[in-house]
Amino acid sequence: MRVFLTGASGFIGSAVIEELKAAGHEVLGLARNDANAAKLEAAGVAVHRGDLAEPETLAAGAAACDGAIHCAFIHDFSQYVENIAIDRRAVEAMLPAMEGSGKPFILTSGTLMAEAEREVTEEDGAAKDGLGAMRGATELLVEDYAQRGVRAMIVRLPQVHDTKKQGLVTLAIQVAREKGVSAYVGDGANRWAAAHVSDVARCYRLALEKGQAGARYHAVGEAGVPMRDVAEAIGRRLDLPVVSITPEEAPGHFGFLGMFASRDAPTSSRLTRERLGWTPTGASLVEDIENLELDPA
């Protein structure tokens, strides 16, 4: 299968490329500049020049391939709402280009976008309010096209990690280095789901090959890692004291991350494992933090 991949030169996209190529698929990777194009060429990937902010370029890439995986997202949290809108316009361009084709399309969403009073499952739809509703609207668009001749699916990601990056936990590490303490909110019992990047890449590949139209898949290796455990692992790796802060202190301490720092978002992947035959085998989030490859402070 020839697969159009957005976010191809990024942390997750690079792992997806390796996974797809190992399984015999070809990749057409989106590159918005010469540096990204050179990285893709070095990985043996065909390059499609385009940009999330130019949706027509994405439509052309999707139309030229047998399927598409949309991993790209602008991770500038100072313009988060605007970036969600850019992401939605990109999806709005790609899906019509695939309508009626039966081709697979995979949208990337996030487990922290869900709003529930219990462990979230694949049967839980998009959140109806808050930040989750903003990205949830894009999930609903994908579900609509699953009824319009596209094998459209959603892969929700937790904190994706290896020893170099750890999703939003990377921001917590940066804050800890700046503040001189590793903090958690309250008793730190709130949980975030996590998965090793190699497991996530395999989940994308399995969904591409045998996922069902309209399905939601959770690329979750650990259903819920307590944030106190995360803070303590950061403290050990950076040799910093670990402290508890109040919910009122969280926005000032964490900045943008403060809106998620106390979120309890355990997430199940039981149905994903059963339906795709997916078994996570990578290191845990705490293990990767403890073995973190640190840049000079």
- Distance from C-alpha of 6 to C-alpha of 91, rounded to nearest angstrom: 11
Taking only the tens place, the pLDDT of each residue in 196-225 is: 999 999 999 999 999 999 999 999 999 999
User: Where in the chain is CATH 3.40.50.720?
Assistant: 2-158+196-220
CATH of domain 2-158+196-220: 3.40.50.720
pLDDT at 132: 66
Residue 297, pLDDT > 60, answer no
pLDDT in tens, 228-241: 999 999 999 999 99
User: CATH number of the domain at 160-193+223-290, please?
Assistant: 3.90.25.10
Summarised one tens digit per residue, pLDDT across range 120-131 is 999 988 877 666
| pTM listed for this prediction | 0.95
Query: Where do you find CATH 3.90.25.10 in the chain?
Result: 160-193+223-290
